[in-house]
Chains A and B, each alone.
Chain A
Amino acid sequence: MSVWILGNNNLNAEVERCVVAAGMDAVVADGVDRRNAVIDAVIITEPPRIVALGEDGAEYGLASPTTNLMDDAEVERVESLKTNDKIAILLDYGEETPEYIAAKAIRTAKRFAGKKKEVVFLSKVVKCGYGGGEQEYLAARDAGVVFVKYEEASISYDEEADSFTIKANDGVLDMEIETPYVLSAVVRDIPELEKISKKLRLYKRADGRVNDDRFFLHPAFSTRRGVYYLNPALVAKGSERDAVQRVMLSVIADIKAAAVPGYEQEIVRRWGIPEVDAGKCAFCYSCYRACTHGAFEPDAEASAMKVVEGLCQACGTCVAICPGEAIARKGGGDLAMTGDVSKKIKVYCCENGAAEAFDGVLPSLGEYAGTIDSERVACGGSVSADILANDFIDYDTIIIACCIEDACRHMDGDRRACKQAERATELFQKASIDGKRAIVIQASHAMENVMKDKLLSILEG
């Protein structure tokens, strides 16, 4: 088995050692050719670029950059200064600060406070949910660090006084700090990582992550089977070597497990791998762009797309999005446009959670239960507007029961379901065909109460 290690990181040697120790071939490469991307596994080690506020200009418009919190030499320089000025640590992230930055910030704050420095720690969200984080946070507080959770903040720099002014508001109170010492860290686009993730077609949202452990329950597993991302967050805990070894244990176990035929393909067997009809394929790349698992590749010979079976998770998004209806599931596992039309309501249930909640609730719906025709789907995102429109010939109400926001294991299924329901409903409203509505219920398997309340409110009109 051959594992590629991509990116420049001082951890590469350790990663390579782990791969070789597991009996696999390690190739340390500086790039990846998309045509050769389907290899046993790729481990990305490229670290993100971290700058201080103001270092790259425009966004904060500061005439002088603050001190880079992630630069040890810089932090030590500030630490060694004898000063009575307050030292501000500012983590200006819209949402949660990346874990490895928050961890470093809390530790630094505690260290400074231990040297009798006055430290004010400003952030929108104080994240300390990582292993041992809460103790570190409490220890920092005990050491005298003042934590300020703000809603809005601004920072400016006075060149003459060589001093920053931070203004913050927590929704009730305003505060202002003037200090020459502001420590900050901002993650910026990393061209190398961008390039790698684009070539490997990793799913990304606007904030540029190449992986997201919400979906795969392991922080090193990316959105594509066989591609792993050694997140710097992992090495923020304990010694680097230990941390790499710990993470690599899971990564190697996953690479080996994936090599066993049939591994994790139960879902694929159940739903059927989609197949492209080359005669109908317009070669428009819509499936290629929409597939969050990176499971489509161009087949230049056939002038059509083809499915990479080992990557496909059978979610059906491609079937729903193909404008030429060129993609169907092998074995005909596609959605029926109508089911038992004597029923009043049709419910499409995403099998990843909502279906369980629905099945649990159905017996308690009494006489209503008999009026519902339900169909399991691999993902809410597999229900398209044309399916809904044709269902509306017979049904008045169609419900798509899918995952709660951001919980979709196929990444965008819930968002696609909402949009398709909206579009189908709007089509019928505009055509003045009354009484047709497509409604989305977002619920996890444990949310039977939510499912029941919403179903009843729909059923009772």
Chain B
Amino acid sequence: MIVAEQKPINEIVDSLNGFGRIVIASCGTCVTVCMAGGEKEALAVRGVVEADAKAKGEDVSVSVVNLKRQCDDEFVDDLEDELLDGDVILSMACGVGVQFLADKYPGRLVLPALNTKFYGAAKELGYWTELCAGCGNCLLEKTGGICPIARCSKSILNGPCGGSQDSKCEIDAEIDCAWHLIYDRLSELGQLDRLNEIYEPRDWRTNRDGGPRSVRKDDVNISDSE
């Protein structure tokens, strides 16, 4: 899932300065699961924004609208009236949701409340780690199911580099060396020979380097747009 965390609250409060009617839009999917932008977090932000207005003696109204998903038309349409019943939308969604609303409502300012971080999973309650970089050309079959692109600090393909020590990355002793993990896993699987392959310089066009990407599934998307 997409993992995000809330922007520093002062940035959020500052960005809302001058607006009298604020709509906070939570998102019920990834950012709820990673406890950054669900209804609970939206309520907490509302508390701070209202308390701030009260302290400054300003007349500000704040409402919370809970969207199941901010990146699909139908969910947004259902709550459009509530969503547009203000001067500004503070989106508690990932960068996708913020832009989706901004695209959908060109006349309305949509502000982000979160910093979108990575694709990852919860290791334990309240602790998420990055597992995928969305590079567009998965090579997990060669590396024992451990991604060197996302989990090696340098994203190198013929690792480990000279900087890893005692299975930890030189960037931070808390970070596991991905290539150490790959070696251990393949060794456990009895497939160390997979490491004999030398990777040529990678074609990064499938990654962000090829510009914004899109996916079309023709058997489903049968529009005549082509």
Contact = CB atoms under 8 A, between A and B. Distances in A.
B51 interface: yes
A324 interface: yes
Say which size band chain B's interface belongs to.
20 to 34
A385 B13 contact: no
Interface in B108-125: 124-125
Given A284-B32, A393-B51, A323 B40 contact: yes
B32 A324 contact: yes
Contacts of A393: 47, 50-51, 54
B33 A389 contact: no
B41 A386 contact: yes
Nearest to B44: A386
B88 interface: no
Interface stretch (A12-20, A217-225, A426-434): A426-434
A342 interface: no
B46 to A, nearest CB: 7
A424 B35 CA distance: 15
Nearest to A280: B28
Contacts, number: 83
Interface string B52-66: 101100000000001
A333 B113 CA distance: 31
B38 A324 contact: yes
Interface in A54-109: none
Contacts of A290: 125
B176 interface: no
Given A325-B38, A433-B51, A390 B46 contact: yes
Nearest to A288: B125
Contacts of A307: none
Contacts of B41: 323, 386
A286 B124 CA distance: 9
A392 B83 CA distance: 25
A282 B33 contact: yes
B48 interface: yes
A433 B48 contact: yes
B214 interface: no
A389 B125 contact: no
Contact residues of B: prevailing secondary structure: helix
Contacts of B48: 389, 392, 427-428, 431, 433
Contact of B52 (A282, A322, A431): A431
B32 A430 contact: no
Nearest to B12: A431
A384 interface: yes
Interface string A291-327: 0000000000000000000000000000000111100
Contacts of B99: none
B51 A428 contact: yes
Interface residues of A, number: 28
Given A282-B28, A289-B124, A389 B40 contact: no
Nearest to A323: B38
B153 interface: no
B124 A325 contact: no
Greatest chain A CB density within 10 A among B35, B40, B66, B124 is at: B40
A286 B43 CA distance: 18
A317 to B, nearest CB: 11
Interface in A422-446: 424, 427-428, 430-434, 436
B121 to A, nearest CB: 11
Contacts of B79: none
Given A284-B32, A385-B44, A427 B9 contact: yes
A430 B9 contact: yes
Contacts of B29: 282
A206 B47 CA distance: 35
A430 B8 contact: yes
Contacts of A392: 47-48, 51
B43 A325 contact: yes
Contacts of B54: 393
Contacts of B43: 325, 386, 389-390
Given A389-B44, A392-B47, A431-B9, A289 B38 contact: no
Contacts of A284: 32-33
B127 to A, nearest CB: 11
A386 B48 CA distance: 9
Contacts of B38: 282, 323-325
A47 B91 CA distance: 53
Greatest chain A CB density within 10 A among B10, B47, B52, B54 is at: B47
A282 B41 CA distance: 14
A434 B56 CA distance: 11
B39 A280 contact: yes
B40 A324 contact: yes
Given A323-B41, A427-B9, A431-B13, A386 B28 contact: no
B39 A436 contact: no
Contacts of A322: 40
Contacts of A430: 8-10
A424 B10 CA distance: 13
A12 B88 CA distance: 67
A431 B32 CA distance: 23
A412 B124 CA distance: 16
Interface string A331-373: 0000000000000000000000000000000000000000000
A384 B55 CA distance: 22
A289 B54 CA distance: 37
Greatest chain A CB density within 10 A among B29, B33, B48, B55 is at: B48
Given A282-B38, A284-B33, A324-B40, A389 B51 contact: yes
A59 B183 CA distance: 24
Interface of A: 280, 282, 284, 286, 289-290, 322-325, 384-386, 388-393, 424, 427-428, 430-434, 436
Given A284-B32, A389-B47, A431-B9, 8 more contacts: A282-B32, A286-B125, A289-B124, A289-B125, A386-B43, A392-B47, A393-B50, A433-B52
Q: Which 5 A-B pairs have the closest CB atoms?
A: A389-B47, A386-B44, A323-B38, A390-B47, A325-B39
15 contacts: A282-B29, A284-B32, A286-B35, A286-B125, A322-B40, A384-B40, A389-B51, A390-B46, A390-B50, A392-B51, A393-B51, A428-B51, A430-B9, A431-B10, A432-B10
